[in-house]
Chains A and B, each alone.
Chain A
Amino acid sequence: MESGIFHTTYRADMVLRRTHAQKARIVLLVAFVLAFPFFASRYGLTLANQVGIATIGAIGLNILVGYTGQISLGQGGFMAVGAYTAGILTARLGMPWYASTLVACLVTALVGAIFGIPSLRLKGLYLAIATLAAQEIIIWVVTHWEVVTGGVDALVVPNPMLFGVQMNTDFRFYWVVWGLAGLTALFTVNLFRTRYGRAFIAIRDQDIAAQVMGVDLFRYKLLAFAISSFFVGLAGALIAHYRNIVTWERFTIDVSVLYLAMIIIGGLGSVSGSFFGAAFMTLLPAALTNMSRALKNSIPVIDAVIPFIQQATFGLVIILFLIFEPEGLRKMWQDLKDYFRLWPFSY
């Protein structure tokens, strides 16, 4: 009967996967991700791709909010920067989609760092409001800079091609999305074992104490904004290439709120939590829509009320999670594992 996991060397303490059960689970997870597209339906693949893109965006936001403690309501705006940069470079300049995706990530990182400048003087509520302003300003620029973005009209992006093969079918794009999601997760998990990641966490826990210990606040906060925005921009660029179309309506303040909800419901400061949250918040509306289709014959009015039900559920889920499980789905998963680890003698 084990009472806990104890390390006797620093090396063992830094290992990412410690126990056999953890190693087995990661192997199973990778096997499942690899096998999934071969037995999933087209609808399942579409959902999986949406979850994958949302996971990348949520991990990006979590780096900033969960790990560095800088609240951001500008997620939608930064995603718009990524999506529009990728879309414009490919549609107007004929750049290959993978190149435009990379440039979009870098541009978004730069824009994120610029809007991160107020974070030097502001924190908490005030920073949240400053990033809210960033959101509104970016969307205003997107809708009014018509020469470049096309204004309120949709920007049509050509199909991404690789060696003469169209990549944005659900099956092929699955590999792109989940490959990048895996890399993002791997990078993020490792980021927080380095000096930079540790500095981010120190800033979150007590910024003044971190400064006393030699963490250059301005530099590291901007770096956190840049790294976070890099992945957010990646998510935006992937949306542009997957959907073939970019419109500003996909990147409003509601998107910022949705992503914040993902990382809070999933678990702040956790890569697996980002995935749980992204999956939950993507699949919940889909499940509600399917439920309404199933109930259509018995309750005919359900079609008309389903948008309200979705919106109300969204609000209610956030409130209930914050009141009853503020640490999110990640904590629930942890509790579940603990329960079975000690089963049947859990106390």
Chain B
Amino acid sequence: MSLFIQLTLTGLTNGAILALAALGFVLIYKSSDVLNFAQGEFLLVGAYVIFAMVAQIGLSWPIGLLLTVLVSIALGVIIERLVLRPLIGEPVISVIMVTIGLSSLLRAMVSAIWGNQPKAFPPFIASYPVRVLGATVGADRLWAIAIAVVMLGAFSFFFRRAREGIAMRAVADDQLAALSMGISVKRIFAWAWAIAAVTAAFGGAILANIVGVSGDLSGFGLRVFPVVILGGLDSIPGAIIGGVIIGLLEAYTGGYIGQGLNQVLPFVILIFILMIRPYGLMGQEIIERV
């Protein structure tokens, strides 16, 4: 029983981080139809920037976090402006490839600046053991879940109530209609990339707090795909639910069956979901007309 609770909490933590990464992913896909293969690298860059701010420059946590958010916004906007905008209207494969090229470039830049050695992360959440329902878990994991929930709640609120959030949903729904209502689609694309970079940076910071910073963090990018397909590529609640489901499944198969099955299971699920329900649990079914 205590193993079950431990695995559940581990799964929820991973699921929360996956959901944060998936949120940015879905946002970019929803507003601009771009599948961002560099999402894992956004996570990586975010984690390293916050590492640099706090551990290398020696800023305090709140200021470091704030600066990281600003850097992430700049990164997202610059990438959208320089790399993605020239490719508007190009075939799907070109857009996929350009984000893959971007991921390679970002990874190279990170390892050129900070090297390849994994580094200990100065914990901003202390990791003392906590007993929950008979199981022992690190407090950092509980905090990670709490932070992710707050972040996801804040973004859900943003999309429902804030002016920019509503504008983003309008662009996602119909670009032409949004344009004629006076919404700048270009600005919304920039917003989408900026928010994606910020949510990924938060995911990276939480992840780094648990496992430390290293180049392996970008591997999280591939794990986002099962999440977004399960939840539906264009659904924000779907990203959250998908993240939690995949996180829990990985933890349970890892804990009860082992054999590295937890690495491959999400992809097997992915193929099944694609065969049965390609638009995912909460995604919108698109009917193609010639």
Residues on A facing B (Cβ under 8 Å)? 65, 71, 117-118, 121-122, 124-126, 128-130, 132-134, 136-137, 140, 143-144, 206, 208-209, 253, 257, 260-261, 264, 268, 305, 307-312, 314-319, 322-323, 326
**Which chain B residues border A264 with CB–CB below 8 Å?**
93-94, 97
Query: Are B104 and A121 in contact, CB atoms less than 8 angstroms apart?
Result: no
**Which chain B residues border A206 with CB–CB below 8 Å?**
290
**Which chain B residues border A268 with CB–CB below 8 Å?**
93
Query: In the bound complex, how far is the Cα of B57 from the Cα of A338, in angstroms?
Result: 56
Query: Are B288 and A208 in contact, CB atoms less than 8 angstroms apart?
Result: yes
A21 to chain B, nearest CB (A): 31
Residues on B facing A (Cβ under 8 Å)? 35, 83, 86-87, 90, 92-94, 96-98, 100-109, 111-112, 222, 225-226, 229, 233, 259-260, 263-264, 267-268, 270-271, 274-275, 278, 288, 290
Query: In the bound complex, how far is the Cα of B101 from the Cα of A260, in angstroms?
Result: 11
Query: In the bound complex, how far is the Cα of B286 from the Cα of A122, in angstroms?
Result: 12
Can you offer 25 A-B residue contacts whose CB atoms are under 8 A? A65-B93, A117-B275, A122-B274, A124-B92, A126-B229, A129-B229, A132-B267, A133-B270, A140-B263, A140-B267, A257-B100, A261-B100, A305-B112, A308-B108, A309-B108, A311-B104, A311-B107, A312-B104, A316-B105, A319-B102, A319-B105, A322-B97, A322-B98, A323-B87, A323-B98
Given contacts A128-B35, A133-B268, A319-B83, contact A260 B100 (CB under 8 A): yes
**Which chain A residues border B225 with CB–CB below 8 Å?**
129, 132-133
From B35, B94, B107, A322 is in contact (CB under 8 Å) with: B94
Given contacts A71-B96, A260-B100, contact A122 B278 (CB under 8 A): yes
Query: Are B222 and A128 in contact, CB atoms less than 8 angstroms apart?
Result: no
Query: Are A144 and B104 in contact, CB atoms less than 8 angstroms apart?
Result: no
Query: Are A322 and B87 in contact, CB atoms less than 8 angstroms apart?
Result: yes
A333 to chain B, nearest CB (A): 20
Query: In the bound complex, how far is the Cα of B93 from the Cα of A71, in angstroms?
Result: 7
Query: Are B233 and A125 in contact, CB atoms less than 8 angstroms apart?
Result: yes
**Which chain A residues border B222 with CB–CB below 8 Å?**
132, 136, 253
The 8 closest A-B pairs by CB, nearest first: A318-B101, A315-B105, A315-B104, A312-B108, A311-B108, A140-B264, A133-B267, A308-B112
Query: In the bound complex, how far is the Cα of B97 from the Cα of A128, in angstroms?
Result: 11
**Which chain A residues border B94 with CB–CB below 8 Å?**
264, 322, 326
Query: Are B101 and A319 in contact, CB atoms less than 8 angstroms apart?
Result: yes
Which residue from chain B places its CB closest to the CB of A129 in the assembled complex? B225
Query: In the bound complex, how far is the Cα of B71 from the Cα of A305, in angstroms?
Result: 25
Query: Are B264 and A136 in contact, CB atoms less than 8 angstroms apart?
Result: yes
Query: Are A322 and B101 in contact, CB atoms less than 8 angstroms apart?
Result: yes
Query: In the bound complex, how far is the Cα of B259 from the Cα of A143, in angstroms?
Result: 11
**Which chain A residues border B271 with CB–CB below 8 Å?**
118, 130, 133-134, 137
Tell me whether chain B's interface is mostly helix, strand or loop, or mixed: helix
Which residue from chain A places its CB closest to the CB of B260 in the assembled complex? A144
From A129, A140, A319, B270 is in contact (CB under 8 Å) with: A129
Query: In the bound complex, how far is the Cα of B94 from the Cα of A311, in angstroms?
Result: 19
Query: In the bound complex, how far is the Cα of B90 from the Cα of A310, in angstroms?
Result: 27
Query: Are A128 and B98 in contact, CB atoms less than 8 angstroms apart?
Result: no
**Which chain A residues border B267 with CB–CB below 8 Å?**
132-133, 136-137, 140
Which residue from chain B places its CB closest to the CB of A125 in the assembled complex? B35
Query: In the bound complex, how far is the Cα of B87 from the Cα of A136, in angstroms?
Result: 28
Query: In the bound complex, how far is the Cα of B112 from the Cα of A18, in angstroms?
Result: 50
**Which chain A residues border B226 with CB–CB below 8 Å?**
133
A128 to chain B, nearest CB (A): 6
Query: Are B98 and A318 in contact, CB atoms less than 8 angstroms apart?
Result: yes
**Which chain B residues border A316 with CB–CB below 8 Å?**
101, 105
Which residue from chain A places its CB closest to the CB of B87 in the assembled complex? A322
Query: In the bound complex, how far is the Cα of B263 from the Cα of A140, in angstroms?
Result: 8
**Which chain B residues border A310 with CB–CB below 8 Å?**
108
**Which chain B residues border A134 with CB–CB below 8 Å?**
271
Query: In the bound complex, how far is the Cα of B105 from the Cα of A208, in angstroms?
Result: 38
**Which chain A residues border B278 with CB–CB below 8 Å?**
121-122, 126
Query: In the bound complex, how far is the Cα of B105 from the Cα of A24, in angstroms?
Result: 41
B35 to chain A, nearest CB (A): 5
Query: Are A260 and B268 in contact, CB atoms less than 8 angstroms apart?
Result: no
Query: In the bound complex, how far is the Cα of B288 from the Cα of A208, in angstroms?
Result: 10
A16 to chain B, nearest CB (A): 27
Query: In the bound complex, how far is the Cα of B222 from the Cα of A326, in angstroms?
Result: 26
Query: In the bound complex, how far is the Cα of B87 from the Cα of A326, in angstroms?
Result: 9
Task: Name 9 extra pairs, CB < 8 A, besides A129-B229, A308-B111.
Answer: A71-B93, A129-B270, A136-B264, A208-B290, A257-B100, A311-B108, A312-B108, A318-B98, A323-B83
From B112, B259, B270, B275, A121 is in contact (CB under 8 Å) with: B275
A133 to chain B, nearest CB (A): 4
B85 to chain A, nearest CB (A): 10
Query: In the bound complex, how far is the Cα of B112 from the Cα of A339, in angstroms?
Result: 41
B235 to chain A, nearest CB (A): 15
Query: Are B270 and A130 in contact, CB atoms less than 8 angstroms apart?
Result: yes
**Which chain B residues border A118 with CB–CB below 8 Å?**
271, 274-275
B216 to chain A, nearest CB (A): 14
Given contacts A71-B96, A315-B105, A322-B97, contact A137 B274 (CB under 8 A): no
**Which chain B residues border A208 with CB–CB below 8 Å?**
288, 290
Query: In the bound complex, how far is the Cα of B225 from the Cα of A71, in angstroms?
Result: 16
Task: Tell me which of B96, B226, B260, B288 has the highest count of chain A C-beta atoms within 10 A of its own C-beta.
Answer: B96
**Which chain B residues border A260 with CB–CB below 8 Å?**
93, 97, 100
Query: In the bound complex, how far is the Cα of B263 from the Cα of A136, in angstroms?
Result: 9
Query: In the bound complex, how far is the Cα of B103 from the Cα of A259, in angstroms?
Result: 16
